[in-house]
Structure 1
Amino acid sequence: MVSLGILLLPLSMQASTLEQQRERYAQAQAALEEQDMDAYNALRRQLDAYPLVPYLDYREFSLLLPTKSVQDVNTFVETFKALPFSETIHDRYLYQLARTGNWKDFLTMQPDVPRGQALQCYYYTAKLQTGEPAEAWKGAKKAWLTGNSTMMPVIRC
């Protein structure tokens, strides 16, 4: 009976550690919501082995997305490519670049025609704004023939 207690001790210690990590994870999420980055960073450093930590990294990265470079976003997307939020970050960054009219970076980030209609419109707008009108008009013509109203900004140019 004593030997069973000795065997179970490491399991109870692991459960306690897991519970502590859950608590720190919840605290880190709360710190992010309050944008208390000092508290968040202190908690985040204690969670490297916690399995849900990539989701904390995603939330932090999302919060700071307006300050990120194309290289930062590409690195983040590559690091977390197996997780569903990597595409979300990629697309949100493209929308941010389009809103700010940063067409050169838009095309660096998205060198090929994207899959969504709105992003395609921005893609062809970027082509037009960066000196590739033939490519832009090709996309606008295709949209016109398919009735894609999201392409009107390119068509109006």
Structure 2
Amino acid sequence: MWKKPKKWAWHLLAASVGLLTLSQLAHADSLDEQRSRYAQIKQAWDNRQMDVVDQLMPTLSTYPLYPYLQYRQITDDLMNQPALVVKNFIDANPTLPPARSLRSRFVNELARRSDWRGLLAFSPDKPTSTEAQCNYYYAKLSVGQSQEAWSGAKELWLTGKNQPGACEPLFSAWRDSGQQDPLAYLERIRLAMKAGNIGLVKSLAQQMPANYQSIASAVVALANDPNSVLTFARTTGATDFTRQMAAVAFASVARQDVENARLMIPSLVQAQQLNEDQTQELRDIVAWRLDG
């Protein structure tokens, strides 16, 4: 038979609910206070009032945004940070957006210090940013792992984009070692031409070995004026490289004057001894422009 609960039980239940509500309110107040202190710290940091930052920051260790303050603390003085401090922060905050870029930033800092072994200990795997990758492979070279360094240099080299200045020591060492095939220059020139990076085309052409200066000059002239593609095709020996360069310039001509490009095809085929697939590529460029 069901018995009516005693009055004291209802009082206990009501008290428990009341305590829970008060606890939640207290927690909410605490978060509000933490949010206010967080804003105070940011403002003090912006005003370089570091005594205020040092005083308030320890009170926010449980605040959800506390790692952002730690990140700022580390990066404000990155040039003096020990690798262990940076590594521990990254490991503790793997999903924090700024922490994901911090690894590459610190790789670059260790490169600035010329701490090559420390760099590889901190980042045993290839970092994400291009600048950090160049420093990573230069570190490989500095500790005697030359084959890995040259492999990385080639991967970073083969792009039509300008690469960061940090890559130049790696590229220079690769070139001076005799391991860089001149064909790598030609391939990067082709990529730069395709990307419309005329400045890089000219820069690379000027760096080519003396016995490549004839083709280098022709490439620069073509980069300056893609409409001279027929002259280029007729005055340079037919090679895979010259055919590729002619095709890139031809695409540029087609964008400007598709009918002129269409009329060029037979002459280009003859001058560069194009096979059927290469000829069809030119026809497809014209057809795509006409359809567009």
The TM-score with structure 1 as length reference comes to 0.79
In structure 2, C-alpha distance between the alignment counterparts of 1:144 and 1:41, rounded to whole Å: 46
Tell me the equivalent position of 2:106.
93
Deviations 1:27-64 (A, max 9, x none): 11122233433321221122233222221122112213
Q: Which has the larger radius of gyration?
A: 2
| 1:113 corresponds to | 126
Report the count of equivalent residues.
154
Instruction: Choose the corresponding residue for 1:78, options 74, 78, 91.
Output: 91
Q: What one-letter code is carried by the residue in structure 1 that aligns with 2:88?
A: T
Structure 2 spans left out of the alignment, 5+ residues: 1-13, 174-292
1:153 aligns with 2:166: no
**Distance between the aligned counterparts of 1:49 and 1:55, measured in 2?**
12
Aligned pairs for 1:7-156 within 5 A? 12-146=25-159, 149-150=162-163, 151-156=167-172
Query: How many Å apart are 1:145 and its aligned residue?
Result: 4.2
Question: What amino acid is the match of 2:147?
Answer: A
Higher relative contact order (CA 8 A, sep 6+): 1
CA–CA distance in 1 between the matches of 2:23 and 2:155? 64
Q: Which runs of 5+ in 1 are unaligned?
A: none
Q: Give the TM-score normalised by structure 2.
A: 0.46
Between the two proteins, what is the percent identity of the paired residues?
Answer: 37
Instruction: Flag the 1:41–1:156 CA change in 2: closer, same or farther, 3 A.
Output: same
> Contact (CA 8 Å) 1:32, 1:60: kept in 2 or not?
no
In 2 relative to 1, CA 26–134 (structure 1 residues): closer, same or farther, beyond 3 Å? same
Amino acid at match of 2:119: F
Distance 1:141 1:18 in 2: 52
Aligned-residue RMSD, C-alpha: 2.6
